[in-house]
Amino acid sequence: MTLEFTTVIGLEIHIQLNTKTKIFCSCSTDYIGATPNSHICPVCTGQPGTLPVLNRKVVEFGVRGGLALHCKINKLTRFDRKNYFYADLPKAYQITEYYVPLAENGYLTITGDDGQPRRIGITRLHLEEDAGKLVHAAADGRIVGSSQSFVDYNRGGVPLAEVVSEPDLASPREAREYVSAMRQLVRYLGISDGDMEKGSMRVDANISQKVSDGRWGNRVEVKNMNSLKALERALEYETLRQRDLLARGERIAQETRNWDDADGITTPSRSKEESNDYRYFPEPDLPPLLLDEKYIEAVKASMPELPSAKRERFLAQYKLPVEDVLVLTETPELAAYYENVVKAGGDPVRSSNWVRTDLIRALKEQSRDIVDAPISAEVLAELIQLVDGGKISTTAAKDVFEKLLETPTTLEEAIRTCGIQIGAVAGDKLREIIIAVANANADVVEVVRSGQDKKDKKLKFLMGLVMKESRGQAKPDEVLKALNEFLAKE
């Protein structure tokens, strides 16, 4: 009997909330690239006698996240202490929400493996503080085989929202989609950068296999996946590993495994020697958090348009194909840029083309972010309108576009520098170019004149040359007319 397997995946995502200050003290959260231990204070280094004070923005961001995930927001929540010893944990406990999370019982919709929308259950979203960072190095700076570690508390106390999904994900692809959708959501909400590489979004997976003969393999926790690709690869590897073991009648050890991106395998995590008895109890230094209906309504009202709503609206409003909409709404900043182009007069379809191809390419080449776009939406709209109005050709416009990328200047200046005069090549000037092209391609001219150019292939060829020579400054219909006139003559 051939065995069939069903993959069961649940994900825990830690999202760093990008508030200005830490969750329990007023230190800056801007720790990336900062001097080690420069964003610290007595509170976040766990000095004896210090006490936590809750950041209101963290609560707001958490509620935003919970609402966007269709969760029930708990009006009365408490913080708890999770007690364990580790060098990056200054108080030897983490303040978190264990017993009553801020939000629970929601969902996030993704496209399932069957192409249909699927709701992935969200068990809970809760607030907690991040730990510091450890750097492992030897005295000579080498990392391998070092005998000591170095602690940097800058990250300690940065606010986190932990989102736990139900084990509803059926494949590594779905897991990747879920994380991608979560990332897009938090960026839309403005509560986090959602960047896996930078560490502002960290994903741990729990994966197991159900077997058609009734067995259900143990759950394995997989950690250390630092990109969407790594996530998918890790879970694919783990799926195969588990299925292989189960097929041979072996058991799956319930353990934590680390993804090794270089070797493409998961390996058992060297277990922390001690048991994980966290001895959770309510945080006595923080009274309960009470949220009323008015507050929740206010947060709801201040929420930005969510990705799904924006996608629907773009489809209806701009009548673009789905693939285009997906690209344009990838980030709220890009969507806003696009809409600004349209608002400034650009035709929706053409604006979509320009933004999706030329602009995005340019941003990539220059390693720039959309908020830092070299060409403003208004200028791009102007350019598009020039082409639409027949004032310049698409080719000319592309030249102008490149020029604007090189040097920040006005549209008029860029046009002038490219040597383009709007609609300039006509009449005698045009005829001069046609004559020149004809002389250089006499044999082709002969073919056309002799009536053998059945499909106008040669005509088009000549036209192309003329257009090129006129550097797109001639109107295509005028060129065609003039060329035909010329060819008709003897």
Partner 1 sequence: MELYRLSAAEIVTGLKERKFKCTDVVASCLARIKSQEPQLHAMLYVAADTAMKDAADIDAAIGEGRDLGRLMGVPVILKDNICTSSMPTTCASKILANWVPPYDATVVKMLKAEGAVILGKANCDEFAMGGSTENSAFGPTMNPWDVSRVPGGSSGGSAAAVAAGYAPISLGSDTGGSIRQPASFCGLYGMKPTYGQVSRYGLVAFASSLDQIGPFARTAEDLKLILSAICAFDPHDSTSEDRPAPCFNLSDAPLRGKKIGVLTKLVDGKLTADLQAAMNEQIEECRRLGAEIVEVALPKALEYGLACYYILAPAEASSNLARYDGVRYGAAYGEAKSLLELYVKTRGEGFGPEVKRRILTGTYVLSSGFYDAYYLTAQKVRKVIKQEFAAAFEQVEAILLPASPTPAFKLGEMSVPLTMYMADIFTIPVNLAGLPAISFNTGFSSTGLPLGMQLIGPRWSDAAILDMAAALGKKSEGRIAEGGVR
Partner 2 sequence: MPRLSKEEVMKIGKLARLEIAPEELDSLSEHFNGILDYFSKLEELDLSAVDPFTVEDTRPVRLRDDEVEENERREAILNQSPSREGDFIRVPRIGGDK
The CB-of-282 to partner 1 minimum distance in angstroms stands at 8
Verify binding: residue 41, partner 2, rule CB under 8 A: yes
C-alpha distances in angstroms, 436 versus 279, 420, 432, 447, 464? 88, 20, 6, 17, 13
**Residue 55 contact partner, candidates partner 1, partner 2, none, CB within 5 to 8 A by sort of partner:** partner 2
**Residue 91 contact partner, candidates partner 1, partner 2, none, CB within 5 to 8 A by sort of partner:** partner 1
Show Cβ contacts of residue 244 under 8 Å, excluding neighbours closer than 6 positions.
none
Task: Enumerate residues 240-259 that contact partner 2 by CB under 8 A.
Answer: 258
Verify binding: residue 263, partner 2, rule CB under 8 A: no
**Quick one: which of 83, 180, 409, 441 contacts partner 1 (CB under 8 A)?**
83
Q: How far apart are CA 258 and CA 256, in angstroms?
A: 7
Show Cβ contacts of residue 280 under 8 Å, excluding neighbours closer than 6 positions.
80, 81, 82, 83, 98, 99
**Quick one: which of 197, 250, 255, 285 contacts partner 1 (CB under 8 A)?**
285
**Residue 98 contact partner, candidates partner 2, partner 1, none, CB within 5 to 8 A by sort of partner:** none
The CB-of-225 to partner 2 minimum distance in angstroms stands at 14
Verify binding: residue 280, partner 1, rule CB under 8 A: yes
DSSP class of residue 37 equals T
**Quick one: which of 114, 140, 273, 477 contacts partner 2 (CB under 8 A)?**
273
27 CB burial (10 A radius; 0-12, 13-18, 19+): buried
Verify binding: residue 47, partner 1, rule CB under 8 A: yes
Verify binding: residue 351, partner 2, rule CB under 8 A: no
The CB-of-65 to partner 2 minimum distance in angstroms stands at 16
Verify binding: residue 274, partner 2, rule CB under 8 A: yes
* Helices 457-469/476-488 angle, 10° precision: 120
Question: Distance from CA of residue 48 to its chain's centroid?
Answer: 41
**Quick one: which of 14, 36, 46, 416 contacts partner 1 (CB under 8 A)?**
46
**Quick one: which of 3, 32, 34, 92 contacts partner 1 (CB under 8 A)?**
92
Structure tokens at 138: 């030897």
Show Cβ contacts of residue 299 under 8 Å, excluding neighbours closer than 6 positions.
60, 63, 64, 67
Structure tokens at 291: 């949220």
Tell me the β-bridge partners of 164.
Answer: 12, 124
C-alpha distances in angstroms, 362 versus 118, 350, 358, 404, 472? 35, 17, 6, 11, 22
**Residue 135 contact partner, candidates partner 2, partner 1, none, CB within 5 to 8 A by sort of partner:** partner 2
In 130-187, where do the E strands start and end? 133-137, 148-152, 159-165
**Residue 280 contact partner, candidates partner 1, partner 2, none, CB within 5 to 8 A by sort of partner:** partner 1
Beta strand pairing status for 103-111 and 80-83? unpaired
**Residue 351 contact partner, candidates partner 2, partner 1, none, CB within 5 to 8 A by sort of partner:** none
Whether the CB-CB separation of 8 and 210 falls below 8 Å is answered with yes
Q: Which is nearer to partner 1, 274 or 365 (CB)?
A: 274
The phi, psi pair for 275, rounded to 5°, reads -70, 155
Q: How far apart are CA 112 and CA 170, in angstroms?
A: 8
Task: Enumerate residues 169-188 that contact partner 2 by CB under 8 A.
Answer: none
**Given the rule CB under 8 A, which of 272-280, 334-342, 420-428, 455-463 is the region that contacts partner 1?**
272-280
Verify binding: residue 451, partner 1, rule CB under 8 A: no
Show Cβ contacts of residue 387 under 8 Å, excluding neighbours closer than 6 positions.
350, 393, 394, 397
Verify binding: residue 50, partner 1, rule CB under 8 A: yes
Verify binding: residue 371, partner 1, rule CB under 8 A: no
**Given the rule CB under 8 A, which of 137-145, 275-283, 323-331, 417-425 is the region that contacts partner 1?**
275-283
**Residue 56 contact partner, candidates partner 2, partner 1, none, CB within 5 to 8 A by sort of partner:** partner 2
Beta strand pairing status for 256-260 and 220-225? parallel
Whether the CB-CB separation of 298 and 98 falls below 8 Å is answered with no
Where does this chain bind partner 1 (CB under 8 A)?
42, 45-54, 81, 83, 85, 87, 90-93, 149, 151, 273, 277, 279-281, 284-287
Where does this chain bind partner 2 (CB under 8 A)?
19-21, 26-28, 35-38, 40-42, 45, 47, 53-59, 76, 78, 85-87, 134-136, 146-153, 223, 258, 269-275, 277, 279, 282, 286-290
